Structure 1
Amino acid sequence: MNCPYGLLLPKVRKKTVSFILAGILVLLQASSLSGQTLLVAAASSMRDALEEAAAKFEKVSGYKTNFTFGSSGLLAHEIEGGVPYDLYIAAGANFIQELYHRKLLVQGTSNVICRGRLVIIIRKDSPRKIDRLHDITNFSLIAIANPQHAPYGKAAQEVLQNAGLWIGLQNRILYAERVTDILELVETGRVPVGIGAQSLRASTQVEYVPVEDKLYTPPETYIAMVKGTLHKEEARAFIAFLASDKGRAVLKEYGFSTP
């Protein structure tokens, strides 16, 4: 289903094929990885923080973790399609609630692990600068994640709406499939500016400008165990690690606030 407004990256239009390929890849991983490897579907905003947390988790537990990162909505569709993940980490409660309603998650395992922040992403060599949010109107193209399936995109839309900029900018918006795509688009110069996640480590080519907290509801990230997992012990251990002092320290290092 195409987004009803703005521009879409080509790969968003091909998401059905992406679901099939993702399912095949995860099935291959599931058959080849050892019994103590967790398969985790995780929101792309969590990529850098989770990779570091998983390395620390392996040192203390011996359990390995294999991630598939993507938008929370598209990953939820993969779980609905039977892709055998052990854990689901989603930005936003809606997708977690929907999977609970469909009885695809283990009851009582859902927890909020952190809250994210938005930033404006711009290249350091840009001839136009961003000193305040309204300066974004000086750009011909603005990237945000697709609000239909990416909570960080929904939050970016909320920012522009609350600032009174949304209607005037709709024809300049490019919708990316994942929040990580926004950083890549700006880093490579394909898009001059974007609104994305503070949690992603940027190259030296770009800089982050904070978005005022009062303009949006910070996306909450949830974790839950997928029904049918054969790795309940390992999954519970990873959930507990992220809630521990060591796990929270990693999340805070990447700009998240924790409960």
Structure 2
Amino acid sequence: MFQMRLLLALLLIWAPLVQAEKITIAAAADLKFAMDELVATFKQQHATDEVEVIYGSSGKFYTQIQQGAPFDLYFSADIDYPRQLANLGLAGSAVTPHALGRLVLWSATRDASQMTLADLTDPAIKRIAIANPRVAPYGKRAVEALKQSGLWDKLEPKLVYGENIAQTAQFVQTGNAQIGIIALALAISPELASKGGYWLVPAELHAPLEQGFIITKRAENNGLASKFATYIESKAARAVMTRYGFALPGDGAGTGPQEDDHAH
């Protein structure tokens, strides 16, 4: 009888361990602070499961997934990347739009809230950080905004390129660039908000930063991946995204920062 009780006790202890699942998420760097918060909240309901998030450039993740990288979910700052993966048969779910990102001017040493793109031509500004437009959607949109403003030829010699939008912000934080064109979600994060104001780049100067995610083909039968995808679309998760400056699909243009309120 004692042995039976012991066996039962051990089974009860081991059961959660046996059922524990793990997912690895590839997420665009603009999601860093929002996603960290979302994962922490999700883990409260899935304490035995493991959720790992790797942040980087959407374009690099796109290439890595094609090459078989072991990611279970992919959150891209440009919805076209997951759409292309779906066309290649590498998605295990429908492509889901989840946010609309915004570009801002941000500086740790100047009051960027009182600036516009035209102010970047100031000779005192020697280095302007943007994300690498070849792999980072925010970099691509920054280039579009500068060209649409007629400033590209004057400003291109000043540009320094971050591998992703988080590294771009880091360049500005550490003084390797005096100002940067970065993601609103990073500028209003606790880490950066206390160090400088921002100016919202008018959305009409570039194509929308429509963001989307997929469960990858390798995880199409992964229960935890499905649960996380469902959670991301929940009211609570959407509230977190809104707090980090993202406009949300279906909520209208008014969800995000207002166009007539560029300076903060």
The residue type paired with residue 115 of structure 2 is D
Where does structure 1 lack aligned partners over 5 or more consecutive residues? 1-33
Task: Select the residue among 118, 127, 148 that pairs with 1:134.
Answer: 118
Please give the per-residue CA displacement for 1:148-194, whole angstroms capped at 9, x wherever unaligned: 11111111111111111112211111121100011111111111011
Alignment correspondent of 1:184: 170
User: Alpha-carbon deviations, 1:118-160, whole Å to 9, x = none?
Assistant: 110112x339984222111112211111111111111111111
Distance 1:54 1:162 in 2: 37
RMSD, aligned CA = 1.9
1:87: Cα distance to partner?
0.5
Residue aligning to 2:147? 161
2:34 aligned residue (27, 37, 49): 49
Identity %: 31
Alignment of 1:58-137 (within 5 A): 58-62=43-47, 63-106=49-92, 108-123=93-108, 125-126=109-110, 130-137=114-121
**Structure 1 length normalisation: TM-score?**
0.81
Give, in whole Å, the separation in 2 of the partners of 1:219 and 1:198. Answer: 11
Q: Deviations over 1:197-245 (max 9, x none)?
A: 0101215333222112222233111110111227621111111111110
The letter for the 1-side match of 2:134 is Q
**Radius of gyration: which is bigger?**
2
Q: Is the 8 A contact 1:129 1:135 kept in 2?
A: no
**Equivalent residues of 1:40, 1:85 under 8 A apart:** yes
Aligned residue identity for 1:45: D
Distance in 2 between residues matched to 1:155 and 1:102, nearest whole Å: 25
Q: TM-score, normalised by structure 2?
A: 0.79
Task: Please name the residue that 2:16 is paired with.
Answer: none
How many residue pairs get aligned? The number is: 224
**3-state SS in 1 of match to 2:239:** helix
Q: Which runs of 5+ in 2 are unaligned?
A: 1-18, 250-264
Per the TM alignment, residue 72 of structure 1 is displaced from its structure 2 partner at its CA by 0.3
Alpha-carbon separation, structure 2, partners of 1:87 and 1:177:
21
Once residues 140 and 90 of structure 1 are traced to their aligned partners in structure 2, the CA distance between those partners, rounded to angstroms, is 31
